[in-house]
Structure 1
Amino acid sequence: MSIVVTGASGQLGRLTVEALLDRGVPAPDIVATSRDVARIKEFADRGVVVRRADFADPDSLEAAFEGADKLLLISTTTVDERVANHRRAIDAAVAAGVSLVAYTSMAHADTATTILAATHRATEEYLRRRAVPSVLLRNSWYLENYTGQLPLVLNSGSVAGAAGQGRISAAARADYAEAAAVVLTTEGHAGKVYELGGDEAFTLAGLATAISAATGRQITYTHLPADEFAHALTGAGLPAELAHVLADADLGMSRGELFTASGDLRRLIGHPTTPLADAIAEALR
Structure 2
Amino acid sequence: MYLVTGASGQLGRLIVQSLQDKGVPANQIVAAVRSPEKVQDLADAGIVVRQADYNDTASLAAAFAGVNKVVLVSSSEVGQRAPQHKNIIDAAKEAGVELLAYTSLLKSDASLMMLADEHNATEAMLAESGIPYVLLRNSWYLENYTGTAAMAVEHGAVLGCAGDGKYAMASRADYAEAAAVVMTTEGHAGKVYELAGDEAVTLAEYAAAVAEVYGKPVVYQELPEQEYVKVLTEMGLPEGFAQVLANSDIGASKGALFDDSKTLSGLIGHPTTSLKDALKAALA
- What TM-score, normalized to structure 2? 0.99
Q: Does 1:197 align with 2:210?
A: no
Output the aligned Cα RMSD. Answer: 0.7
3-state SS in 2 of match to 1:56: coil
User: d(CA) in 1 for partners of 2:151 and 2:212?
Assistant: 17
Q: Distance in 2 between matches of 1:232 and 1:70?
A: 43
Deviations 1:168-210 (A, max 9, x none): 1110000000110000111100000000010000000010111
C-alpha displacement at 1:151, in angstroms? 1.8
Look up the match of 1:181.
Answer: 180
Per-residue deviation, 1:160? 0.5
SS in 2 for 1:79: coil
1:242 aligned partner: 241
Deviation at 1:58, TM superposition (A): 0.7
The Cα of 1:152 is off from its aligned counterpart by 1.1
CA shift, 1:78, in A, is: 1.2
Q: Using the alignment, how far apart are the partners of 2:8 and 2:230 within structure 1?
A: 30
Q: How does 1:17-96 map to 2 (within 5 A)?
A: 17-96=16-95
Unmatched tracts of structure 1, length 5 or more:
none
SS in 2 for 1:102: strand
1:280 maps to what in 2? 279
Letter of the 1:113 partner, please give it: L
Map 1:106-117 → 2, pairs under 5 A: 106-117=105-116
Percent identity over the alignment?
A: 53
Aligned length: 284
Equivalent AA in structure 1 for residue 210 of structure 2? I
Aligned partner letter, 2:100? V
1:166 aligns with 2:190: no
Q: 1:61 Cα shift?
A: 0.8
SS at the partner of 1:201? coil
Counterpart of 2:156 in structure 1 is 157
Q: d(CA) in 2 for partners of 1:75 and 1:262?
A: 23
Task: Give 1:225 shift.
Answer: 1.3
Runs of 4+ in 1 over 3 A off after TM superposition: none
Q: Alignment partner of 1:80: what SS?
A: coil
Partner of 1:4: 3
- Give the SS at the match of 2:79: helix
Give the drift of 1:228: 1.1
Q: Is 1:269 aligned with 2:273?
A: no
Does the CA-based 8 Å contact 2:5-2:12 persist in structure 1? yes
Q: Tell me the distance in 2 between the aligned counterparts of 1:262 and 1:190.
A: 20
Question: Could you say what secondary structure the match of 2:30 adopts?
Answer: strand
The answer for the alignment partner of 2:123 in structure 1 is 124
